[in-house]
Structure formats: structure tokens, C-alpha cells
Structure 1
Amino acid sequence: MRETPHCGESRKPRPMRPHYFFQKLLSIMLFACASSLSAGLERWQTVELGGEKIGYRQLVREIVDDRVLTREELVITLQQPGEASRTSTIILEFEETRDGQPLSLSKKVSSQSANQTIEARVEGGELRVERSDGRQVDVSRLVLPDDFLMPYGIQLALRNAAGDARELQFSAFNFSTLAFETVRLKGQRQSGELAWHFTYQQGRTVQPSHWFTNEGFEVLREESVTGGETLVLYDCDKACALAPFSPTTHVYRQLIRAPVRMPEAALRGRVRYQLSGDSTLVPPETAEQAVVSRNGGWQVDICTDCGAEDAPEASVLEAARQSTYWIAADDPEIQRLASEFGAEEESLDVMARLTRFVSLHMNAQPDYAGFATASEALASGQGDCTEHALLLAALARAAGLPARIAIGLAYNTERFLGRKYVFVPHAWVQVWDGSAWRSFDSGLGEFHAGYIALALSYSGEVAHFTRVNARLHALQIQSAARVQTQGGKP
């Protein structure tokens, strides 16, 4: 672990952008539905986003005795302005019977800051799911749906159907939510090498993905929309897939333009925003945020005591104290640090010390590749605001303080990725002090009226972050105005 800076040292806060973009980019890998291919074959694909190459994918299938083994490896390289490029690798493996019955599946994610493994195996009528970050293991069991399919089974089902229009509905395992979700495939025969065009609708996603297959239902091209840009994977030879390229930056679409420049004085007071766009993204009411439905969108007032959130039930406070896989409050080193830095009786004093520790412990150069648990963040000191929030929440819980994570936007007055006066995707911590949930942020610094919460998470699951990210591109901040108060009322 990195040496703790001496008291009195300070580090200038810098904006942190969470892994929303990376996670959404890899959303095609969250479902256990890899591209189908014939046994004994190897295929290579190029990955492009917005017309620019960002990586490659290799697919291999072989038959071993009575089992069909499918493996796919996705390698993505991204770069932020002024930083070295970062490469992340995801490997999916599937084991099925020759008649397409699922046996096991796994997902491994490797990057500079995070290494995650999820292994699942069919045991009787259940799917046993085990995930690990190398420091902790979490095991769960799911009832196995009768219509659960994986890559080879999907291909067989399509081959066994008849006609120029084919439909298939089945259950797929979602690696992000660790749950089964319904998938709907609708296909129509067309002329040419891409003999079939399928729409692929997973769960509650609004926009379907598109599969283009040959006559054997091997997927030769996939298209989906992520944050307003088109993500494409298409077949090419090995030399084409592995050909070098210059990593490009695709982060600016995650920044939301501020309608006005807000001075520090305004941010220290009360600011009223009018949000429009995706109506499914409903900002929560908190002690610091008052939300009213207005003009087809949301009027959001933010200050230190603007909102009127109800006091949490005992069960909610208990959930906010629990250790989870991502918020690993039971990690021995996190427990030790919480004891060392959380000696004061006042919760706000404890949080001030813990916030300062996380701010100084984490590397000043954020790492946007991967998604690390609180334990990984503590061990490596790498990550961005997501890891800041997970680690700070874990320390707070280890110190006995109920904590949750706020996911949303933060106004940035300093230069961030070459841009100023923009709202950046962000995550921070809220702690229950006995009367209200109060915000603490080890990434940017002290809470102000430039923080807009769009969701709250008590478990820190990846799916909570990606769910917000999937809608950010449709969100607009129509206006922002300082609200003058008189006698504590606007």
C-alpha cells in the first residue's frame, strides 16, 4: 500500500470520470451470448467505435469428447488526452453438450487496475455463480430457466427452425447483473454473404443490436449503439484484426455542456437546474437535492439542505452498513484503516479524515480501464471516481457509518480532458449522519451545488453505473440559475 502523506500535505483535486464509457463499450460481453461459429474453427474480428478501430476479437470453437467449447477474447485499447494508452482484455468461455445444453461459462476481465473473474456452472436445477477479485470470493445460486441458452445452443435452435423469417426467445445470463434476462431474436433472410439479419433485444434495452450471419448462422457482423455512437464488430483475417492502430479518445461525448458558467459563489449557494431528455432517468430526492417534475423533464434544486428525503427505514440503514463484493467493508486492511482513521465520535469528523486518506492514497492520474472493487482500489491505488467512491464507502461502513454511492454529474470549472465548464460523469459517497445523508467526495473535493445525483446504489454493483451511463447521452441540462434565498427559503 502506498505510504500515507504527512498531515498538511495537499493534492489538488482533479476531475474523475468513472468507467461508464468502458463498461458500456463492453456491454456486448455482459451477456452469455458470444458470436456463433462452427466447431474446429477460429475467427478474427475488428472492433470499431464511431468508425475508428479500438481493438479486436478472437473466437475459437472446438469439440472435446461430448462437449462443445467456445472461447472469445476481446482486447480494447483506449487513450485519454496526455496519458499513455490502456489495454483491457475480456475472455469469455462456454462449455455445452453436443445438443446445446449449457454446462458452464466464465468471464475474466484484466486491466492495469482491475482483475475480475466470474465462473458459473450448472448444478442440478441451479446455476452456481462464483466471482472473485483475487482477494475475496462471492458465491450465489440462481434457479436455472428451462430456456437458458448459450452460443452453440442458440446456433442449433436457429438451424432447426424453418422459413425465411425466424424468431427465438430464450434466457441469457447477464454477467453484469448476475441474473438471467430474456433475449429476443428476430431474423429475416436476405441476399448476399450476410444471409440473415437479426435484431437482438436483451432485457429492457430500448435499442436492439443487429446480427448479420451466414447460412450457418455464424455471426459475421454485429452492430449496436453505445452513447449515440455505433459500435461494430466484423469478420476479417488475423492480420487485419491484429493490425496496429493509433488509440483514439472517445470521451468527449460523455461530457455534458453547462448552459452557463457558474461562479464559485453560486456553487456555494443554491442552484436550480432544468433537465430534459430521457424520462426514464429520474433524479432521486435527497437531503441536498429537491426534485420536481416540470415541462416534460425535471426541475432539480441543489444545495446543502434543499431536499426533503424521508428518514431511512432500519432495513435501509442496515443495507448501508453491510459489506458487499464491491464495497468490501470486511476487508481486513480496510477494517484496520477505518479503526485508525475513524477514531472520532462525530461522524462528520470521521468522514473528513477518511475522505482525505482516500484522496491522498489514490493515484492522482486516474485509470479509466476496468472496474475495481474497494479491496483492489486500496491495494493498487489505481482507478477513477468509481474506485474512489467504492473505497470511501467501504471505509465508512467499516467505521460503522451507513454509506451509499451517488451516481450522476459534477460541474467542472478546471480543465478536464481539454474542456472546461462542463458536467462530467461522476460518483461520490453519501453518509447518514443521524439526520440526513451528507455527501463526501475524495475525487473532486467538497460538495457544492454543481453535483447532480441521478441514481443511488447501496451495493456498488457495476450494473448500477452502466444503467445510468446508457442514458447519459440523451440527457440535457437546459438551464442553470442561482436561486436567491431569504430566510432560508427560495
Structure 2
Amino acid sequence: MRRLTAMLLLVLLLCPVPSAVANTTAPTVETTWMSVLLGGRKIGHLKIDRERGQGMVTTTQTLSIMLNRTGKSIPLSNMIRSVEGNDGEPLAFASRTSMSAMDSVIDGQRQPDGSYKVTTTVGGATRESSLYWPAGALLNDGQRRAMLAASRKPGLQYQLQMFDPASQQVMDVAIEVIGNEEVKLPGGTEMLNHQRQRLHQARGDQILDLWLDDRGQARKGIISMLGRQLEMLACDETCAMAPVQDVDMFRAAMVDAPRPLTPNLRESFLRYRVRIEGSGSAQPIINTDEQRVRRLADNEWQIDIGPAYPGGQRPPQPEDLQANSWLQSDAPAVRDLAREAVGNASSDRQKIRRLRSFVSHYITQHGLDVGYASALEVVGTRQGDCTEYSVLLAAMARAEGIPARVVTGMVYADRYSNTSRVFVPHAWVQAWIDGRWQSYDAALRRFDSTHIALDSGDGDPWHFFSATDLFSSMQIEDVMPSWEFMSPAPAGAVAPPALGGSPGG
């Protein structure tokens, strides 16, 4: 699965840009270029255009990167625009993300009553909604003003509410002013103000270090991604546009297995002992009806995976049945396909099994060069990898009235990309069947106990951000089937149920 979301969030946090000089009637444009590096290797560039005129400040940030997945190069890009009054008052926002054949576009315009009309286009389908601006939330120039004012107070700790146009969410960011430091950049050494941003998340904090000049412009930024240091460095256009270097992101996301997991083990109940650096007491992995997580010590966790039983996660909510921008279950093309797939099936169990089988065969071009496509786009292209299988299956399930969620996690592979015995990033679907959430994997055609769920959501790629760093910080120390850790059963006792007989597919 793609980890573009970490990059996109970084762009949003690197929002401070040059302060304009005196306001004039004719718009003025100022451009900043930055080179983007991962683990010391160049993967792309960031261009920041700031236009000021007619009482408004418009900031446009365009990120372009090239990632490599097992030999395939994937170009990814993201544009974020914010429009504000000269005093930092939000007026409009927009986002355009290229992760597949079709761009996903968000446009938010302030209305006379103070609300925002938000138009979202994904996979060729357009939806409109209303947004009431969150109190205290800031766009680009408002954030710049706050950080510039704080830069004069070393040791200050303060909070900012940063609005993310791409996800339309507010990020609660704690910031510490560390002080002025000499920083080496491609164009020479500069004296910059070091501020550390801490984004609070359920699985632990995400930390971004920024170095700002005396106009509030970010000249350098560092964040951790998949165990590597991602840097953005201000430089001239020639430096920023220099050729990129290959970085295999998929290998960095693999987690070694401590033992071979044979087919009979995969179909049994499995207990994992996992170490996740930096997790402390905050639970970094979700509970599901098939997966129960227990803390053993700081950074040490036990994960039990087996047949589904109720109580691991909350029952279906209204949004688990609703169409959205990525799961267009109300689109005629999706509804017609779902109707064709289920045929005369009468129960939800029969329907989801037929849907899973249908999707497994429907996607005929399986490949890693699709960034992230919506269900409606997959209907037309019939290509993709595990995420495309998952969004299509979830959308078709919702079209048939079955609550469904998209799960992001990892799964065991005997061999993948010239590597043996590893867990690789993966996605599948949970459906509400017989009073519990049960998993269905259209890409691999069946679910087993080597599927470790990290998060679940509504198919929006922004949900994957929360699991980004888990791959690099996770170490699976041991995997045991039930017969290795349970006391010997009395003669004639019934063994724990195997997943092979479970309804998950």
C-alpha cells in the first residue's frame, strides 16, 4: 500500500511561507523551491507559490515525488491551496492529489453564512457537502503568523489548530520553540529558528522539526517515515528539479517473520509477541472481532488472531453503510455490478461470499503501479493491487446493504520481492455478518490468521497515515499456534476452531 499520506501531511506542516511586503493593488507572486530527500536520496521537489493582492493571500504548494515499488516507478503529486484575508481569515481551500489515473480534487468555498461549500471529485464522481469552520482552525498564512510571533520566544510551548484541506480535518499540534541555530543548506549556512511540532495521534506522537527564517519561511524540515529521515531543504529551482534517485519504499515496509508460517499454521489460531518501538503504553494496533491485543510491557504487545466473535470492536455505525468519495456504493455502475455478483443469494453471508469471489476475478490486471484508486475507477479500469480489490469489495457490499470497512494492515508471504518469510503491507475488508465483523480478502482470495490489522476506515487513503510508522518500528519476536502455549488437552477434547472453516474469504 502507498505511504504517500505521510508526505502529504508533511507538506501541510511545512506551511510557513515568506511574508509579503507592503500590500499593493497588483498581485505579487513569490516562489520558494525545496528539494525532498528520503534517507539521503532525492525523491522529488516542493514548489510553494504565494500571491498577495486585492486583500487576499493565496498559497499554493505542489509536491511531486517518485517512489519505487519492487522495480516499478510510481509518480505521485499533491497540490494544496489556501486563500486567506490579509489578517489570516480563511476564505477558501483546495487540494488535488494524483495517485491513480484520475485525480482526486477537493474545493472548499466560503459562503455568505460563513459555512463552506465543499465539492469533492474522486474517480470521476462529484459530491457536494457543507462544512462549518472549526473554531480556532488556521490555514497557511494564519499558521505562518503564529509561528513567526512565537519564534521570538525561545523555550515557549504553544498549541496550533491546523486545518488540513485534503482530509478536511483539524490537526491538534503542540509546538516548542527550541531557538536559533546555524543550519547548513544546499545554498550555504543560514541562522534559522528551530521549532518542533508534535502531532498528537492515538498511536503516539508524530514529530516534525522545522527551521524558519526571520520572515516565518520554512527553510528545512525533518520527519521520520518508515524508519528513514525525510528531509525538505530550501534551494534554488535547479537544485530542486535535479533528477530523482530510486528508493524502494516497499522493502522498507516489510517486517521479518521469526519462523516459516506453513499453511496449517496460517489456518490455526496464532499468538504473536510484538515489539513496537516508541509505543509505550498507548495501544498502537486495533482490536477487532478476530484480533485481540494485550499489553505485556512498555513497547511489548501480544496479538491473538483467530475466528471472529463479538465484542472486539463497535458494531456498525450509519457511516459503515453510506456511500462516500472513495466507496461510491450509490453509483449505478457499482450497484449494477453488485447486483450481478450476488445473483439470487438471499442471506448476507451468501452475498458477501459471492461478492468476494466476483471481485477476485473481476480485477484482471494485478499490479503495483496504481497509486490509489476509488471503487468507481476500479469498475472502469479493472486493475490495481490489494487496496483496489478492497475499496471495490467494500463499495459493492454497501451497495447490497451490508456494513463494510476497509482494513489496512499486513499479511505473511513466504517470498516477496526476492525476500523470504516477511509480513508485507496489505488491505482487505471487514463485513458485518451474523452479528460480528468478519474479514474477506479479495486480493488473496481468503483470510487467515497471518492478517494483522493495524487500522480500519471508510476507504479514504488518509486513514492509512496513522499506520505509516508502525512498519518501521515493529518487530515480530515470536509466533505460536495454540497447541504450543496451551496445556495439553485431555483425551477427546475438541481443539480450538481453525480459520479454514470460518466464513472469512
User: Shorter-chain TM-score: which interval?
Assistant: 0.7 to 0.9
Aligned position for 1:22: 4
Deviation at 1:108, TM superposition (A): 0.5
Correspondent of 1:107 among 78, 95, 104 = 95
Correspondent of 1:51 among 13, 35, 40 = 40
**After the TM superposition, which residues 81-480 of structure 1 pair with which residues of structure 2 at under 5 Å, given as runs?**
81-83=70-72, 85-123=73-111, 124-133=113-122, 134-145=124-135, 147-159=136-148, 163-165=152-154, 169-175=159-165, 177-187=167-177, 188-191=179-182, 193-204=190-201, 206-277=205-276, 278=279, 279-295=281-297, 297-305=300-308, 307-309=309-311, 313=315, 316=316, 318-343=318-343, 344-367=345-368, 370-413=371-414, 415-457=415-457, 459-480=458-479
TM-score of the two chains, using structure 1 as the length reference: 0.86
Deviation at 1:282, TM superposition (A): 4.9
Deviation at 1:158, TM superposition (A): 4.5
Kept after mapping to 1: 8 A contact 2:269/2:482: yes
Between the aligned partners of 2:364 and 2:15, the Cα distance in structure 1 is 35
Kept after mapping to 2: 8 A contact 1:126/1:142: yes
Aligned position for 1:14: none
Asked if 1:36 is matched to 2:17, the reply is yes
Between the aligned partners of 1:443 and 1:227, the Cα distance in structure 2 is 24
The amino acid of 1:121's aligned partner reads: Q
CA 1:361–1:29 in 2, change beyond 3 Å: closer, same or farther?
farther
Q: RMSD in angstroms over aligned alpha carbons?
A: 2.7
CA 1:150–1:178 in 2, change beyond 3 Å: closer, same or farther?
closer
CA 1:452–1:169 in 2, change beyond 3 Å: closer, same or farther?
closer
Between the aligned partners of 2:338 and 2:436, the Cα distance in structure 1 is 22
CA 1:159–1:412 in 2, change beyond 3 Å: closer, same or farther?
closer
Deviation at 1:199, TM superposition (A): 1.3
Kept after mapping to 2: 8 A contact 1:177/1:462: no
The amino acid of 1:472's aligned partner reads: F
CA 1:400–1:199 in 2, change beyond 3 Å: closer, same or farther?
same
Deviation at 1:247, TM superposition (A): 2.7
Deviation at 1:463, TM superposition (A): 3.5
CA 1:217–1:354 in 2, change beyond 3 Å: closer, same or farther?
same
The Cα offsets for residues 123-177 of structure 1, whole Å up to 9 and x where unpaired, read as 44444433221313141313342x3333333333455568452665332112454
Between the aligned partners of 1:218 and 1:258, the Cα distance in structure 2 is 44
Between the aligned partners of 1:291 and 1:22, the Cα distance in structure 2 is 27
Between the aligned partners of 1:91 and 1:311, the Cα distance in structure 2 is 36
The amino acid of 1:118's aligned partner reads: I
Kept after mapping to 2: 8 A contact 1:212/1:221: yes
Kept after mapping to 2: 8 A contact 1:89/1:109: yes
Between the aligned partners of 1:36 and 1:422, the Cα distance in structure 2 is 42
Deviation at 1:265, TM superposition (A): 1.5
Kept after mapping to 1: 8 A contact 2:164/2:170: yes
The amino acid of 2:107's aligned partner reads: E
Between the aligned partners of 2:336 and 2:350, the Cα distance in structure 1 is 18
Q: Which runs of 5+ in 2 are unaligned?
A: 21-28, 183-188, 484-488, 498-505
- What secondary structure does 1:27 align onto? helix
Between the aligned partners of 1:263 and 1:451, the Cα distance in structure 2 is 14
Between the aligned partners of 1:363 and 1:41, the Cα distance in structure 2 is 47
Deviation at 1:349, TM superposition (A): 3.4
Report the more deviating stretch, 173-182 or 395-404: 173-182
Between the aligned partners of 1:287 and 1:170, the Cα distance in structure 2 is 37
Percent identity over paired residues: 27
Deviation at 1:290, TM superposition (A): 4.2
CA 1:376–1:199 in 2, change beyond 3 Å: closer, same or farther?
same
The amino acid of 1:100's aligned partner reads: G
Kept after mapping to 2: 8 A contact 1:55/1:74: yes
The amino acid of 1:137's aligned partner reads: R
- What secondary structure does 2:78 align onto? strand
CA 1:362–1:30 in 2, change beyond 3 Å: closer, same or farther?
farther
Higher relative CO (Cα under 8 Å, sequence separation at least 6) belongs to 1
Aligned position for 1:4: none
CA 1:114–1:418 in 2, change beyond 3 Å: closer, same or farther?
farther
The amino acid of 1:195's aligned partner reads: L
Kept after mapping to 2: 8 A contact 1:113/1:382: no
- What secondary structure does 2:129 align onto? strand
Deviation at 1:245, TM superposition (A): 2.8
Between the aligned partners of 1:370 and 1:311, the Cα distance in structure 2 is 29
- What secondary structure does 1:190 align onto? strand
Between the aligned partners of 1:290 and 1:97, the Cα distance in structure 2 is 49
- What secondary structure does 2:249 align onto? coil
TM-score of the two chains, using structure 2 as the length reference: 0.84
Deviation at 1:30, TM superposition (A): 4.8
Kept after mapping to 2: 8 A contact 1:43/1:59: yes
Report the more deviating stretch, 206-215 or 367-376: 367-376
Between the aligned partners of 1:283 and 1:144, the Cα distance in structure 2 is 29
The amino acid of 1:402's aligned partner reads: P
The amino acid of 1:288's aligned partner reads: E
CA 1:67–1:177 in 2, change beyond 3 Å: closer, same or farther?
closer
Between the aligned partners of 2:5 and 2:68, the Cα distance in structure 1 is 15
Deviation at 1:301, TM superposition (A): 2.8
Deviation at 1:57, TM superposition (A): 1.0
> How many residues in Structure 1 have an aligned counterpart in Structure 2?
464
Deviation at 1:418, TM superposition (A): 2.1
- What secondary structure does 2:77 align onto? strand
- What secondary structure does 1:326 align onto? coil
